[in-house]
A and B are shown apart, each in its own frame.
Chain A
Amino acid sequence: MHIPDGFLATPVWATLDVAALPATGWIVRRAQREFEEARIPLLGVMGAFVFAAQMINFPVGIGTSGHLVGGALLAFTLGPAAASVVMAAILTIQALVFQDGGILALGPNVVNMAIAGVLAGYLPFYLWGGGRWRKLSIFAGGTLSVLVSAILALAELLISGVKMPGAVLGVSLALFVVSGLLEGGITLAVIQALESIQPGFIRKPAAGRSFALGAVSVGAVLLAAVGVLFASAAPDGIERLGRETGIAAHARTLLETPLSGYEVTFLHSSWAGRAAAGLAGLALIYIACLAIGRAVARHRSG
């Protein structure tokens, strides 16, 4: 589920864009450590493979078919960090070339699918992939990757105030579960077929063992669980949450304080303040990106 531009409220997309930048920077750095730079072709071609895999249909029941989403499969074969980078590259190309997913919504989409989805999909394999539960962990990984990204996307839409009646919400959650189980089945079947061709393709779970990745994966799963609770408890979105807790009001004053001076002096209108805040946010993102880039460059050369 790629969120287009115009669906998310400004605070939601801006926050997630800001969050996605350092996260992507971190994951890119990890992937670079595992794959030296000269192996970029491998990641690019595997991204093209995930695109092309959509052309191969899997029969599901009567008359319907599904296809591979790919995040978990890539995580099991290339490692979680490289899989995140490939998924982020896919999302970028889809947003730019195919108008599938928005540009301002690229941050949210990357967080949902490339980071939370891939890491959540890798988590069962990371925990149980070496032992007796291997098959089950692969299946669960595929299922979780789709389920976590879909639930995060749904939660973001609800927080943005897109209203959904309870019945629609229930149906969409059921659909997510079905497509998650399908992804799990496809991932397991493909992994088994791959092992019969050449066992070396699937990485050992120990290869990517790290505390930080584990923590982020657990965080992604927890976030999705909270998303479900939130979605079922407060379908009216953040407005109700804000009314009940007063958090939104505080957050708003906090957000607007640095810019309120300008508003009073020469703009005199609230939307101009919001636009200025948006542009200021983008400028901040840009500066953060540059700073991270510099830091990475210095780290690598030093």
Chain B
Amino acid sequence: MHHVVLERWSRGRSIIHRRDPRAKLATLLVFLVVLATAHHNLVWLSLALLAFLAAAVIAAGLPLTGALARAGIVLPFSAVFAAVSWLAGDPARAVALLLKSYLSALAVLVAVSTTPLPALIRGLEMTGAPRFLLMVAQFLYRYLFVISEEAQHMTKAAASRGATARSLAGSGSRFRAAAGALAVLFARSYGRAEDIHRAMLARGFEGSFRTLGALDFRRSDACFAALASLLLILTRVAIERAG
């Protein structure tokens, strides 16, 4: 599964992995804004940005082809809109849609696969995003695997009882069966959440997560963010001037 691979990638110890999450988030934002507001010479700019991202992937010790392929997740969606734009007589926009969406996804992938998600969320929390929302997101991520596995067990159990044999039951009854399965999954998730809540209260949870080891924003992190942002902006200036 996609997130299992990201989880493994994010445990590295490279120079990119060691940067503070806030430095990486700031650089990511600069990257996304530089790319999103670009209009002229987009192909050259994209090549330059792709080279930077590839360099970051290699510096982080991640498999380059794997990362490039994983960011391709956005391409089917973008391709539909690119095709529509092309047909509507706007090939420049079609190319821009594909390039911008792919590179943005790759940039996010590089940031996320070099930072464990709890650290990333803690970084977001320190920049002032609503803490309640981020805690919900963190819980969601933590129990994603558990509940998904339960759903898989349920679909497998249903299939082994013949739920996929189309001839046996009409579409209507299969629809109702799926709704029943979803309701059971809902009730189980709800019950599980209450168990988790009780277990947390028993261990002294008082409304916020505590973490071992605080994040610390060192001078090297500031240098990284500043230099990377400057590099991105200057690259864009140079390419726009050249065109």
Contact = CB atoms under 8 A, between A and B. Distances in A.
A293 B205 CA distance: 22
B139 A41 contact: yes
A244 interface: no
Interface in A154-196: 157, 161-165, 168, 185-186, 189-190, 192-194, 196
Contact of B37 (A98, A164, A271): A271
B240 interface: yes
Interface stretch (A50-58, A120-128, A133-141, A221-229): A50-58
B218 to A, nearest CB: 22
Interface in A191-217: 192-194, 196-198, 201
Interface in A6-54: 6-7, 10, 13, 24-25, 28, 31-32, 36-49, 51-53
Interface residues of B, number: 98
A195 to B, nearest CB: 9
Given A59-B174, A163-B90, A42 B194 contact: yes
B105 interface: yes
Contacts of B84: 162-165, 168
Contact of A38 (B2, B3, B87, B197): B197
A196 B179 CA distance: 12
Given A46-B189, A163-B90, A164-B84, A95 B34 contact: no
A60 B40 CA distance: 46
A205 to B, nearest CB: 19
Contacts of B206: 38
B36 A162 contact: no
Interface string B183-207: 1111101101110110011000111
Nearest to A99: B105
Given A57-B178, A163-B93, A272 B237 contact: yes
B53 interface: no
Interface stretch (A86-94, A143-151, A245-253, A255-263): A86-94
Contact of A104 (B33, B77, B142): B33
B132 A37 contact: yes
A7 B97 contact: yes
A162 B175 CA distance: 37
Contacts of B147: 45, 48-49, 51-52
A269 B240 contact: yes
B175 A40 contact: no
Q: Which of B96, B155, B176, B178 has the most CB of A within 10 A?
A: B178
B133 A45 contact: no
B133 A85 contact: yes
* Residues of A in contact with B, size category: 35 or more
B235 interface: no
A282 to B, nearest CB: 6
A86 B29 CA distance: 24
A81 B85 CA distance: 37
B48 interface: no
Contact of B179 (A38, A90, A95, A189): A189
B31 to A, nearest CB: 10
Given A6-B36, A103-B32, A271-B240, A286 B128 contact: yes
Contacts of B139: 40-41, 43-45, 47-48
A86 B128 contact: no
A44 B184 contact: no
Given A40-B136, A53-B182, A102-B105, 14 more contacts: A7-B78, A37-B208, A38-B207, A45-B139, A45-B190, A59-B171, A86-B136, A97-B2, A97-B117, A103-B104, A103-B108, A165-B88, A278-B33, A282-B29
13 contacts: A5-B32, A5-B35, A5-B101, A6-B103, A24-B133, A38-B201, A44-B135, A48-B148, A51-B140, A99-B109, A189-B178, A271-B39, A289-B129
Interface of B: 2-3, 6, 28-30, 32-40, 70-71, 73-74, 77-78, 81, 84-85, 87-90, 93, 96-97, 99-101, 103-105, 108-109, 112, 117, 120, 127-130, 132-144, 146-148, 150-152, 154-155, 171, 174-176, 178-187, 189-190, 192-194, 196-197, 200-201, 205-208, 233, 236-237, 240
